[in-house]
Structure 1
Amino acid sequence: MAFSLSGIRSQALAKCGICETDRPIKWKCIDCDNLLCNHCKEKVHPQFQNAKDHRVVNIKDLGQPTVVELNINKQYLTELTAVQCMSYCHDDSLWICYNRDKKIQRVKPEGTKLNILSNFNIMVYGIAVTQSNNLLISTGKSKLKQISSKTGALTDSVYNMSPFITSAIHITSDNKVLVTGGNKYSKVVILMNQNGDHERVYEHDQHKQPIFTFPRGITSTRNGNIHVFDEVSDDRGRVVGWGYNQYLYRR
């Protein structure tokens, strides 16, 4: 999203996406999607992974915000009460689910209808399709379930975040698995490789304070930056982000 200079000046709460201080905002990293003060642009941002390839521009050069118009081309009616999660498959089919229905379906748009290809009665809290087109499912337990794209069988996967309970799932560009979760003592994000090995556990910041309140959603960029939607209260959330160098920012 582009910002005009006048727009930034009118937003009293706009702060540097890294240090979150009241230093004047002068720059924006297009790749990180972060507003930057002079200090963080010169001293902190260069430490990010692949920072030398990032596009950092002066906010005066950003121009006017781009206007995006969305038009609904087609609408489809599902058998679900609502669609809570949706994940795209490589064969143009979709996995959709709603945990109150305790149901997940693989559907494919055909004309004006959704053709149901698979149907499972299971509680679902998060889904993600791997690069091999298998579906990973968080069922509110420590181990992720998996539906094979070849056999259609529902089995346990190799991904286990015990003693934590799984929630949201995301597949990175290098086919690793990020899972949010927690228990009554702590909330975490765990990065696992294709064998299910825990490569990194994100739980505390550099001051040894808990990073998350309730991590509800997760995604990552092609440069390896991770972004988590953290629910702070019933009516307030925030985005917590970091690169593989683990420098955290909250906004």
Structure 2
Amino acid sequence: MQSMATSTKSSSIRKAQVTVSCFFCKGQEIKWTCVDCNVRMCNSCKITVHQGLQCSQDHDVISIQDIIQSSPSSQEVMSVVIASVFNSYTTTLPAVHTLLCSDDGLIYYTFCHIPSKGNQFVKGKLFKSSIKILQTLKRNVFDIAINKDGEILMKEFDVSTIQIISHVGEVKTVLDTTPMILLAIHVNKDNEVIVSLREQGPPFPVQDFSVRQVIIFNSDYQRKFTLEFDKKGNKLFSYALHIRTDSKNVVYVVDCFDRQKNGRIVAVDRNGCIKFIYDGQNRLGTFKPYAITVTQSDNIVVADYSNDALHVINSNGHLLGLQFICIDLGITEPYSLCFDTEGYLLIGCGKAKHENYGKIHVAKITDSLM
């Protein structure tokens, strides 16, 4: 099946289209953010525009510097994550819940909705003004990964098996974790397969007897390491929603506390030693880390769904960048993140107001954060 998903911008994706600036004047350096308005502004517009609005008299306005200082041990923090947005593509799905790019430049993305309604797995190619759809499968895909052979590993919702989709579209099962419930899947640089598991029954609240594991398999699906407890015997994870690794094979987990997906980022090494836990920024309130990806220099980019924001933290868990992408760039409901072969950040999103389909945005990360 071949069809096109349209791009909302007709120019080349290598020509910058959107730059970051003050919400009001569009031309000055951002110094302040209004928590209530979710607006970022320069010094001048804070005084002459925002404070002049009757509705903003009781709003909580925070300086970017205060946000920086609220992050322990963080001395130099970039306020802007995305330097520019090059293109925005409208897909044929209501949302882009998972998103990956292979070494040959193909993209793979899914929409998973329960109860089942239009669930799909899509293989495509980004062109100047559209996505060329090369393959679709009507599958309830919850998570995907790509191995060294370019095969797609697929995990469906409420199914405890990993299936591989070959280059010719054949599907076969390679791992069954029954009776444990399979959650997330990931393949690291050494072609090891990393999965998260939990016990049968309700996922929340997490009890003393609950089993919450991240397991590292070799490429033949033989178990190598099990990550479950820290050195004091405490559970490392509550509900490991997504997994990524860096060049040193440190494991980064999007760990959720409840059904609303409030959560944190847990970083552990292969021996189960916690490197850091990142809980977001206290001043922003609720932190819902829906997606995670890792840069070439092992910085971690996190999509914060509750604030329509991107956080960049380094391998020590210190905040390097924070950007409210909805207000700054018009990007809403970030569900998924990945980098393409040229180092551009792809952001998979849900549908915006008055629109029917989710989007994929192509963005340039600030050079110092890459």
**Cα 1:86/1:64, change in 2 over 3 Å:** closer
Q: Cα distance 1:201–1:160, how it changes in 2: closer, same or farther (>3 A)?
A: farther
The equivalent residue for 2:85 is 72
Q: Pairwise CA RMSD of aligned residues?
A: 2.2
For residues 213-232 of structure 1, what are the structure 2 equivalents within 5 Å?
Answer: 213-232=238-257
Question: In structure 1, what is the equivalent of residue 198 of structure 2?
Answer: 182
2:163: which partner in 1? 145
Q: Which amino acid letter does the alignment assign opposite residue 216 of structure 1?
A: L
Shift of 1:8: 8.7
Matches within 5 A, 1:158-197: 159-183=175-199, 184=201, 185-197=210-222
Cα–Cα, structure 1 residues 81 and 92, in superposed 2: closer, same or farther, change >3 Å? same
* Alpha-carbon separation, structure 1, partners of 2:81 and 2:236: 34
Q: Structure 2 CA distance, aligned partners of 1:75 and 1:67?
A: 19
Decide whether the 8 Å contact of 2:125 with 2:133 is kept in 1: yes
SS at match of 1:70: strand
Cα separation, partners in 2 of 1:201 and 1:115, compared to 1, 3 Å: same
Counterpart of 2:265 (choices 225, 239, 244) is 239
- Maintained 8 Å contact 2:100/2:109: yes
Count residues with an aligned counterpart.
198
Q: State the alpha-carbon separation in 1 of the partners of residues 102 and 82 from structure 2.
A: 26
Using the size of structure 2 for normalisation, the TM-score is 0.50
8 Å Cα contact 1:160-1:196 kept in structure 2: no
Contact 2:227 2:270 (8 Å CA) reproduced = no
TM-score (norm 1): 0.71
Ranges in structure 1 where 5+ consecutive residues have no aligned partner = 1-5, 15-24, 26-34, 36-58
Decide which of 108, 120, 128 is 2:125's aligned counterpart. Answer: 108
Unaligned runs of 5+ in 2: 1-64, 202-209, 279-370
Q: Which residue of 2 aligns with 1:119?
A: 136
Using the aligned pairs only, state the percent identity: 21
> Which residues in structure 2 correspond to 1:196-211 (within 5 Å)?
196-211=221-236
What's 2:288 paired with? none
The reply to whether residue 82 of structure 1 matches residue 95 of structure 2 is yes
For each residue in 1:58-116, what CA deviation from the matched residue of structure 2 results, as whole angstroms up to 9, or x when unmatched? x5xxx563744432222222111111001112221111101123210101123312111
1:10 aligns with 2:69: yes
Give distance in 2, aligned partners of 1:74 and 1:164.
41
